[in-house]
Amino acid sequence: MYIPESEVRELLTYPALIPAIREALIQLSAGLVSQPPRTVLRTAAGEGAHNGWFAVMPVIAGDFMAVKTVTFYPGNAELGLHTHMAVVELLRRATGEPLALMDGRLITEMRTASVSAVALDALGSQNVTSLGILGSGVQARSHLWALRHVRPALTDIRIWSRTPENAQTLANEFGAAGSRADGAGARAVSIEEAASADVVLTATSSTAPLLEGRWLSPNALVLAVGATGSTLRELDDELMHACFLVAESRTAVERESGDVLLSGAKVQAEIGKILANPNTAPCGKRILFKSVGLAIEDLTAARLVWHARAKRSK
């Protein structure tokens, strides 16, 4: 059975996915998930942005197994194609039988934003009102909706992009300041203004630091989801060493995040541990949450799609 993206879009929702991701991250930190490191192969399909990578991500958790294959070709944007493309195979753990093969592009988009929403809910103040976004692509868009699902008071949306026209386009899509019924407004701003928000999201493919620690507010929460790779950076050393560093997965972040590897910063906590014991959440300081994407998140989303489809067909 193949489930296309159009059907995934009908079946997968943030109200269902965010709490499911929260539980999956708790189980991961509790050692209840079997998840080897992802295998990444450089494709050598071209030069520069036209080169890409191919990754395989297997996982076993609960009653299911899954494997995602995903590609990333930054040069695809010039061709009118998605930069990330993926498929997820869901299998029954008890028998090994394949249950479904589904398009994984939207799953990847939504599960990444849901992880950040879980982190914001666990680590961010209830009183935050401003969100700065560095980037204007798919993840910037998905995070706008997911983050506001857990913090509806995020009404001051500041968007920066290396291509100002793209930042303005995203701001227009979300709604110009004062035009939305819920009072939320988005605007294209300088990188310094975006960085001074209560919550700062970095969702870029930068190879060198863009966000500087000196721009952050005293109690900022930074959600870093872009530039995954041991040689890539979004964040400067000042930021890396000035923040309390929380990882989606300690081993994955320490293996795959260039921001962590090249700065020498140390992971101080894992989000699943904090979710299981909220009293351990840091407070009164700058916090950095770093995610690199995990197979358990893809399995969690695929399982929801599978169950929702089965329920609909009854």
* pLDDT-derived band at 302, boundaries 50, 70, 90: very high
Report whether pLDDT(13) > 60.
yes
Q: Is the pLDDT of residue 105 over 60?
A: yes
* Spatial separation of the C-alpha atoms in residues 276 and 26, rounded to whole Å: 6
Give pLDDT, residue 185: 87
Return the CATH number of the domain spanning residue range 2-107+296-313: 3.30.1780.10
pLDDT attached to residue 179 = 60
| Distant-in-sequence, close-in-space partners of 311: CB < 8 Å, separation ≥ 6 | none
pLDDT score for 58 = 98
Of 2.60.40.3500, 3.40.50.2000, 3.40.190.10, 3.40.50.720, the CATH number of 124-293 is 3.40.50.720
Count helices and strands (H / E) in the chain: 11, 14
**CA atoms of 211 and 193, how far apart (whole Å):** 11
Q: What is the band of 47 on the pLDDT scale with cuts at 50, 70, 90?
A: low
pLDDT, one tens digit per residue, over 127-156 is: 999 999 999 999 999 999 999 999 999 999
* Percent share of the chain, pLDDT over 90: 81
Residues 286/244, Cβ–Cβ less than 8 Å: yes
Q: How many Å apart are CA 285 and CA 163, to the nearest integer?
A: 32
pLDDT band at 92 (very low <50, low <70, confident <90, very high): very high
| Full DSSP string of 10-73 | HH--HHHHHHHHHHHHHHHHTT--B-PPPEEEE---SSGGG--EEEEEEEEETTEEEEEEEEE-
Bridge partner list, 88: 68, 102
Distance, in Å, from the CA atom of 265 to the CA atom of 268, rounded to the nearest integer, reads: 9
Is the confidence at residue 3, as pLDDT, over 90?
yes
pLDDT at 91 > cutoff 90: yes
- So where are the chain's domains? 2-107+296-313, 124-293
285 closest CA partner among 155, 147, 124, 130: 124
Q: What is the pLDDT of residue 74?
A: 79
In this prediction, residue 46 carries a pLDDT of 66
Token digits of residue 202: 């970095």
The reported pLDDT for the residue numbered 227 is: 84
What's the mean pLDDT in 205-225?
Answer: 95
